[in-house]
Structures are given as C-alpha cells and as structure tokens.
Amino acid sequence: MQRRDFLLLAGAASLAPATPAGAREFSPISLDGKGAEAEWSVTGKSDPGSLALVEAWIRKSAQAVAAYYGSFPVPKVQISVLFTTGRRRVGGRAWPSDPLRLELSVPMGATEKNLLSDDWVLVHEMTHLAFPYIASRRHDWMVEGLAVYVEPISRIMAGHMDERQMWADFVEMMPRGVPAPGDKGYDVTQNWARTYWGGAIFCLICDIRCRRATGNRMGLRDALRGINAKLDFSQQADFGETLALGDKATGTTVLIDAWQEMREDPYDPGLQKLWKDLGVMMAGGELRFDDRAPLAAVRRTITTA
C-alpha cells in the first residue's frame, strides 16, 4: 500500500502554522448539519473549478469524520489550503491553536480523483480534532495511530471506501508496527513504524477487546465519542485521564489496561492468528472474508456499528 507510505516516511507535518500571504478567505461552510463550521482559505490557485473542488473535498472529508463520531468533533475550525508545485501528494497538519487550525498542502493540478476519491490525509487530520492535545511526545503513538485507524473506518461508514480495501491495507501495513528485536513498549520505543502502525495496532486490539467485553455492543468508537464529549484538540489533557474517560463511556477498563500492559513492555499481537480469527484472508492477492471465523461478527461491527 502506498497511500500512507508518504506520511510515515515524511511525517506530513512540515507546514508553517500561519496563513500564507495572499490567501483568499471564503465564507464559512457547514460540516455536519449540526452547527459545526469551517472557515477556509486557498492560496496559490483561484480559478472557480479549483475552489469548488476544495470545498467539496472539505465537505466530503468532514462527512466521513461525522459518520464516525456522530457529529463533527469541534464546532469551528480554520482550514488553509496551499496549492504548490513543491509536493507530489497532499500533506497536512492539525494545530491546537485558537481557533483550531488545519493546514493542507495540495499539488498544483490536483484532480477530482486525487482529492475526492484517493485522498485520506484530510480525514486523518480532522480526526486529530476529536482527541485532546497531549503535550508529552511519549504518547504520539496514540495520537497518530488513532488517526490511522479511524480514518478508513470513517470513510467506510460514510460510504466513501470499501471495507475490503481497509482490511487489505491493515494486513499489508500493520506488520510494520510490530515490535522489532530490542524494542520496548509504546511509551519507550518511538519511531515512525511504532508511532503510526504500532498505534493503529493498539487501537484495533482495544476495539476487539472492548467488543468482546461488552458482547459486541460497544467498541473503540464509543470510547472515543465519550472522550470527545468532554475534550477536543483545543484542550490539553493528561493521557491516563483521557483514556479513563473512554473507558467510562464503555463501562470497561480496556484502554487503561491495554496501556498499562503495553506502555513499557513490547506487545506482539500475533497478527496472523488475529487475521484468521477475524476472518480476513489474502488469497492470490485478493482479500476474502470468512464469516465462520470466531471474530467475524466483531470484524463486521467495527465498520458498521
């Protein structure tokens, strides 16, 4: 899978937190029909077709995030889009400023396919808005891994992506997040693979554990909604207290227990067995589902509940 290699290797975070000179500001647009709005600006290109494409891109990405959280996670966000000849792919970063800000860099000549079909970056950055600002870099694995995990599920729930693509991506990419020899736990060993894909593994494991603990009635999405009901990216919060809010929403101790288990010591999820238990199989380069697998019902509710 190439769609996240760019973010993993380059960080997708090299943009300056300021509106570029000459940016064209536009009227706020609704993000979820429930009062959330985005104030947006574009720099570097101003033809009507490009502006309409950017607005459609923002709306579609927000629709996906709202599908996962029930509504857009913050009432207001500023979005700056810079068209540039210096990038081949979309890049972005979320800033915990006042007001909250997303900065996106878009290649000049980006097409409808690039932004409305293939892009995942804006949904990833919008997902950051639903989780509080965690000052300690020790917990970047949760912040980034969460966005990697939630982004495709959000798009599936909004009807923007096929679930087979997500599971195929997970099968291909999650092995990068498994601890290498000599690695420690999430709070100790920090590199791009453990941060993005290791964090995504943590989220998948917690989703499964929560669903098993609640008879498949609740999962990670319920925990994250509980967190977002109290906190968002505009607020700084303690990591443990944040996880406790999620556990309170599900009536479990899944998040705290998993963190305590994996924070210092390396955790190998046994991905091959996990895929088999979920009923996810790759055969001849094609992904297939086994609905007789013991966790097949869990797999289905992860993307539909």
What pLDDT does residue 25 have?
74
- Residue recorded with tokens 């915990």: 96
The region that residue 29 occupies, defined by phi over 0 for left and psi between -120 and 50 for alpha, beta otherwise, is beta
pLDDT at 9: 38
What local confidence, expressed as pLDDT, does residue 10 receive?
A: 35
Average pLDDT, the chain: 92
- Position with higher pLDDT, 85 vs 152: 152
Per cent of the chain over pLDDT 90 is 84
The full set of domain ranges for the chain reads 5-128, 137-304
**How many other C-beta atoms lie within 10 A of the C-beta of residue 50?**
19
Q: Say yes or no to pLDDT of 7 above 60.
A: no
Span of 11-25, 32-46, 273-287 with lowest mean pLDDT: 11-25
| Mean pLDDT along residues 157-170 | 97
pLDDT at position 120 is 97
Q: How far is CA 76 from CA 64, 100, 137, 181, 201, in A?
A: 17, 7, 26, 44, 30
Q: How confident is the model at residue 16, as a pLDDT?
A: 41
Chain-centroid distance, C-alpha 64: 11
d(CA 113, CA 117): 5
Rounded-to-integer distance, Cα 290 and Cα 304, Å: 17
Res 185: pLDDT: 97
What's the angle, vertex CA 61, arms to CA 52 and CA 38, rounded to 5? Answer: 70
Phi, psi for 41 (deg, rounded to 5): -140, 155
What pLDDT sits at residue 23? Answer: 67
The residue among 19 and 141 whose pLDDT is bigger is: 141
The pLDDT-based confidence of 87 (bands split at 50, 70, 90) is: confident
Taking residues 146-152, report their average pLDDT. Answer: 98
225-248 per-position pLDDT tens digit: 999 999 999 999 999 999 999 999
Asked whether the whole model's pTM tops 0.85, one would answer yes
Using CA atoms, how far residue 271 sits from 117, 118, 204, 217, in Å, is 29, 27, 11, 24
**Exposure letters 143-162 (e unless 16+ CB within 10 A, then b):** bbbbbbbbbbbbbbbbebbe
Average pLDDT over residues 98-112: 93
